[in-house]
């Protein structure tokens, strides 16, 4: 019986950033030895592999696209080569695979079939944004995209704000880049004046901008995050709740 291959979860740069700035050497070395990749976006995947300096011809490498439109009933077919002993890399379009990314279904199937899964180091916009926000990093929740309809989006925002107040948790979410400014305006209009909002945009690129201010300060601040990948974090903690949690964590 053949040994099964390994599924490597490979982070890619966020934005047009030099590889060596955000991708560890060990991750690049793994990429160079692989010739089978399951990718979210073919164009960005090919460009990333080329930048690693692989000795393989790019046209000799096999790329299979697994994006949000992929038929979930076909997920197992992507892993058949690993059952035959071939190693594979799973690539997100940008950043870390399986976080706000469709790759999670592939990993779930790999575990079901007893295929070894190895996560590799690299950039993750959500964690980097949390690190830089100044908010509670002991307890936080990531919500992905909020609803698009205005009334549902407002309801979600108010719910996250109240949840943060009650629990001390940082609430994290993302938005389609062309709706970033509208999201900030919505937060300004509907969240409390003393709620803290952090916008972390273009993370790990030369245009990186991370700003944390109370909502009341955002009301008079000029901003433009149109079409820039961004992460939003809000924190509206009941200070008594937060102080109790800090004492608990320090024990």
| pLDDT confidence of residue 237 | 76
**CA nearest neighbour of 62 among 28, 98, 91, 83:** 91
- The secondary structure element, H or E, covering residue 89 is strand 88-91
Contact (Cβ atoms closer than 8 angstroms) between residue 228 and residue 180: yes
| pLDDT confidence of residue 240 | 60
Domains and their CATH numbers in the chain: 6-119 (3.40.1010.10), 125-245 (3.30.950.10)
**Which residue stretches of the chain are H helix?**
19-22, 25-33, 42-51, 75-78, 80-83, 104-112, 125-133, 150-167, 180-190, 215-218, 239-250
Q: What whole-number distance in Å separates Cα of residue 38 and Cα of residue 109?
A: 13
φ, ψ of residue 231 to 5 degrees: the values are -120, 135
Q: What whole-number distance in Å separates Cα of residue 209 and Cα of residue 187?
A: 18
- 2-38 burial: b if 16+ Cβ within 10 Å, else e: eebbbbbbbbbbbbebebeebbeeebbebbeebbbbb
- Give the percent of the chain with pLDDT over 70: 94
pLDDT, tens digit (0-9, with 9 covering 90-100), for 28-38 = 999 999 999 99
| pLDDT confidence of residue 251 | 45
**CA nearest neighbour of 2 among 86, 79, 78:** 86
pLDDT, tens digit (0-9, with 9 covering 90-100), for 192-232 = 999 999 999 999 999 999 999 999 999 999 999 999 999 99
- The secondary structure element, H or E, covering residue 143 is strand 140-145
């Amino acid at each position: 019986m053949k040994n099964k291959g390994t599924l490597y979860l490979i982070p890619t740069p966020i934005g047009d950033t030099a590889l060596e700035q955000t991708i560890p050497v060990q991750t690049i070395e793994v990429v160079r030895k692989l010739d089978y990749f399951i990718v979210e976006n073919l164009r960005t995947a090919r460009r990333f592999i080329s930048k690693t300096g692989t000795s393989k011809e790019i046209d000799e490498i096999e790329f299979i696209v697994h994006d949000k439109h992929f038929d979930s009933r076909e997920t197992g077919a992507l892993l058949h080569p690993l059952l035959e002993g071939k190693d594979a890399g799973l690539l997100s379009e940008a950043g870390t695979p399986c976080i706000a990314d469709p790759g999670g279904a592939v990993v779930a199937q790999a575990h079901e079939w007893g295929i070894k899964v190895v996560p590799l180091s690299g950039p993750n916009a959500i964690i980097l944004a949390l690190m830089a926000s100044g908010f509670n990093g002991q307890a936080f929740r990531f919500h992905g995209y909020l609803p698009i309809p205005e009334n549902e989006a407002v309801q979600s925002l108010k719910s996250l704000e109240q949840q943060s107040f009650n629990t001390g948790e940082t609430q994290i979410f993302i938005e389609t880049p062309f709706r970033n400014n509208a999201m900030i305006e919505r937060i300004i209009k509907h969240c409390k004046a003393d709620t803290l909002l952090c916008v972390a945009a273009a993370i790990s690129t030369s245009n990186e901008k991370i700003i944390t201010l109370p909502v009341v300060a955002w009301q008079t601040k000029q901003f433009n995050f149109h079409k820039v990948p961004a992460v939003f974090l809000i924190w509206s903690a009941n200070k008594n709740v937060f102080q109790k949690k800090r004492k608990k964590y320090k024990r």
